Each structure stands twice: as structure tokens, then as C-alpha cells.
Amino acid sequence: MKSLKLSVSLVFLVLFQLGLSAQEPEAEKPAIIPQPAEIEWKEDFFTLQERTVVCFNSGAEAPAAWLQRLLKNTYTQSYTMKGENCNGFSLNLDPNLEETLGKEGYNLDISSSVVSLEAASEAGLFYGIQTLRQMFPAEIENEKVSEEIKLPQVAITDSPKYEWRGSMLDIARSFFGPDYIKKHLDRMAFYKLNRLHLHLTDDQGWRIEIKQKPKLTELGSKGAVKGGRAGYLTQEEYKEIQEYAAARNIVIVPEIDMPGHIYSALMAYPELNCEEFANIEPRLATPPQLFHEYTVGWSKLCLDKPEIYDFVATVLGEMAEITTGDYLHIGGDEIEDERYKEFVVKADSIVRGLGKVSIGWEEVTQAQVDSTLISQRWTGKTKSIVNTRVIESICSSFYFDHANIPGQEFTNNWCQERGVSLKDTYNFKSKNPNTIGVEAPVWTEMVLSNEAADDRFWPRTIAMAEVGWSEDENKDYKNFINRLGEHGLRLDLLDVHYFRTPEVDWNSDRNKGVFSEFMPESRW
């Protein structure tokens, strides 16, 4: 009899607890990507009031404006004021925090009455705001949220693993203009990426205005792969893109690929060729023909002609003059020539003489380039003779022109026949102590539209963002794809035509984004 009473009591206890659970379900924690270094969720909430203040100290004006832009899409009436320790939102820029947080880290603390954010730089505050943004309803991305917003109380201390967290867009084979580039910058910023590498020149097209060499765009910009788009960026457009990027703490890295991959220049200025076009082999096109095919690695400057260095100095000189970032990428891949090493050393010297840092594809480290050069590894097979800093772009993990899943149509597969999966990207680990970061390229010989570019970039770029930001011990693939699934609706509302990776349980059924007239005003 005693055991029966005990069993009945246990049943009532279980039912009582189930009833409590039904009445008060535990709130789901926001899906933060990249995974923060340290995060401690608490039980209560910060409730956004109908009127709130964003206070900031000296130097934090720009981040305060970004936060106000976010709050503008809510029901609150917010205003900014200079000050510290206000109720509401408090931004504090303190350079002394660099010792503990680095240049891009931040502390975010949400209590019942204050959302407090501190960092050593504007970039750190900006990244803290991106984390905060992911705690708001997804609808905030393109419409005004009128329902009550509750932010979970939390303490986050966060900083990136790598200083270089990059994305690369090839606009040479098929042209992508300022509008798409700006959209891509917005999306990069949301996931705390900080370098956009633009591949500006290749056999198919020359995409940047060089005023001292006008034929490069008058003639060389007319080409593209079959079905692709021709065009070029004016210098004013390029400067505007840099300014737009800088406001989002992103540096533009321009690439002028040489001495190979350069038919568009050889066509515009035939004097850069050897006699009888001996530098073009196989002869897939000769001036004044344009080149519309996919083949690479068949053209090069005539390295026997000393005058080619006048051309190189002129082009790199103008690029240095209009580039606000520290870097000029000189390409240097897929070429065989007995004077190749001599060329690379001279090109690197020209870049350094212009006050910039050289970047080259890994083949350039076969030459005795300066140790300040940064090597971008894509095969990992080059035997380097110099010790340089390294950007990891290994094709089996980061070449996003390859298929998202095996068999995806109209994608490359030369590096890895099955493609480059989300997991391939996420599980990348560098063993090189000289690694400064990661970067994922999208080559565009088979990427002919904005939608196709989105499909290749996203969501794999999100996985790469976590590789670049989060320490290995904080990463877990199963946990990542769970968090990623919670970003589906937000990506839809940001008008991202992302590939719906089958293993991810996306929280939205929509394949295409949702445009709203409110969206341009809220663009990040």
C-alpha cells in the first residue's frame, strides 16, 4: 500500500512538472554566428521600452549610429547622447581594452536595464552590434517590428581567432558591379568578415579603370565568358565601394593578376606581346579578338621585354593611388616561364616602393620575394623558399565555385570532384604557424548572375566566418548547423538566394528573398 501511494505521488509530481513546463517553456537562446569565445546566458530579459537612449563616449559616434539604425526598425523611439553608464544602451570605446580583447574584440553585457557594449576600437563595437542584431527578431532586417522585443540577459566576451577573414569575388570572367558588391559587403559585415578581395583582371576581361592606359577598359573590358557580363568599375565607383566597405570595417584588396591570366591587357596593348605572339600558347585568341572561353593559364606578358615593367609600374601605381587599404595583390599563379621568378621579385619591389604590402598566390614564394609579402595558399603544393605570412584558401575547403553538393550543375569540380561541402569548409584547420587567416574565392566562369553568386557564397561563407573567428575548442559542426538553420529566415529577408543545404533544418521554406521598400533604408 505504501508503494502504491508513493507511485501515485510520483505521477502527480511528474504531471505537475510537465504542467509547469507547458506553461513556462524555457526560451530558446539566440543562434549566434560566429560562435563567441565566452558566453554566459542568464535567466531574465532586457525588455526594449517604447523610448530608449543610446549613450556613447568619445570615439563611439559611428557605432552609436549603427545601433540607432538597428533600433529604427523597432517600435522604440531612440535618441543618442554623449555620456556613460546610461539605462538603455551604453557604448564605451576604451583603447586600453586592446590588451585583453585585441583590436576587434568586445564585451557585451545585457542586464534587466542596460545593454552595455565596450571595445578597444570602432570595429570591436561594430562586431558587438552584429552579435546584438542576431538577438533581435529576423524580421528586423526589412520591416518594422511592432511586437514587444525581449533580449535575453547575457555576458559575452569575444574576439577573433584570425586577423584576416576574407571573401573573394572574381569580377573579371563575369562582371559584378557596385550594387552587388555592396550587398555582398553588407552580408559579410553581418558575419564579422573584414576583407573583400576583388579579382579585377583576367584573360576574359579588365575591370578597373586605369587613366594612363585607357584602352584597358575601352577594349579589354568588353569581354566575358559565354553568357557572362562585360563591364568595368570606374575609379570613382571603386573609391565609393572602398568607402562603403570601410564603414563596415572591411578592407578592399584589389588583384591585378600577372604576368599570366592577362590576355585582356595583351589584346588592348598588343606591344606587350612577343613577336608573332610567342607568349600566347596555346593560341586560343590573338589581338584584336576577345576571349570568351573558360580555359586559363595560356597567356602571359612577354617577359623578355624590359618595357613591360613600365606597364606594370603604371598600373600598380594608379592602383596604389586609389586604394586606401594596405594591400595590392599581384596574382602570379599558373604560369611557366624561365623569367617568372625575376618578374615576381620586381613586381613585389614595385608594390613595396608604392608603400603597399604585396599579396600573391602561393607560386610567388618560389622566388626570393620579400618576407613582408603574404602568400595565398590554394593548392598547398608549392615549395616555398621564403618564410612569409599565409592566407589559407585551400581549394578543397574554400573554393566556393565548386559544387555545394555532389552533382550540382554548372559548377567546377577540378579540385574535388564531389564539390566543397559545408562540412569541408567548417572542419578546416590550419597547421601553419604563419597563418593570418582564411579566405574563400568564388571564380565566375560558371557564375553568370547575382543569384548564382549568392548560391555559391552562402551558406558556406557563414561556415568560413566561424572558422576565421572562433577557436577550434568552441566549434562543433552539429551545433553549427543547428544555429545555421535558425538563420534561414533572416537570410531570406536579406534577399540572399542561398543554397538550401539539405542537412540543415532551415527555419524558412522560402527559396527567394523578400524585398521591402523599407529595405534600402535599413541596408547595412
Block residue for cell numbers 602571359: 300
Instruction: Give dist(CA 306, CA 128) in Å, integer.
Output: 51
Phi and psi angles of residue 80, each rounded to the nearest 5 degrees, phi first:
-105, 150
Cβ neighbors of 294 (< 8 A, separation 6 or more) are 173, 225, 445, 446
Number of H helices, E strands in the chain: 17, 15
Instruction: Give dist(CA 406, CA 173) in Å, integer.
Output: 24
Block residue for cell numbers 573567428: 469
Please, is 61 exposed, middle or buried when counting C-beta atoms within 10 Å of its C-beta (0-12, 13-18, 19+)?
Answer: middle
DSSP, residue by residue, 168-215: EEE-SSS---HHHHHHHHHHHHHTT--EEEEE-B-SS-B-B--TTSTH
**Is 275 part of the annotated catalytic residue set?**
no
Please, is 86 exposed, middle or buried when counting C-beta atoms within 10 Å of its C-beta (0-12, 13-18, 19+)?
Answer: middle
Phi and psi angles of residue 98, each rounded to the nearest 5 degrees, phi first:
-60, -30
Q: How is residue 91 written as a grid cell?
A: 557604448
| Total Cβ atoms within 10 A of residue 481 | 18
Instruction: Give dist(CA 212, CA 194) in Å, integer.
Output: 31
Please, is 473 exposed, middle or buried when counting C-beta atoms within 10 Å of its C-beta (0-12, 13-18, 19+)?
Answer: exposed
How would you classify the pairing of strands 195-199 and 150-158? Answer: unpaired
Instruction: Give dist(CA 22, CA 517) in Å, integer.
Output: 39
- Which of 334, 338, 342, 503 is flagged as catalytic? 334
Phi and psi angles of residue 455, each rounded to the nearest 5 degrees, phi first:
-60, -40
Instruction: Check: CB of residue 175 under 8 Å from CB of residue 181.
Output: no
Neighbouring C-alpha atoms within 13 Å toward the C-beta of 20: 5
How would you classify the pairing of strands 389-392 and 374-377? Answer: parallel
Instruction: Give dist(CA 363, CA 334) in Å, integer.
Output: 8
Active site residues: 334
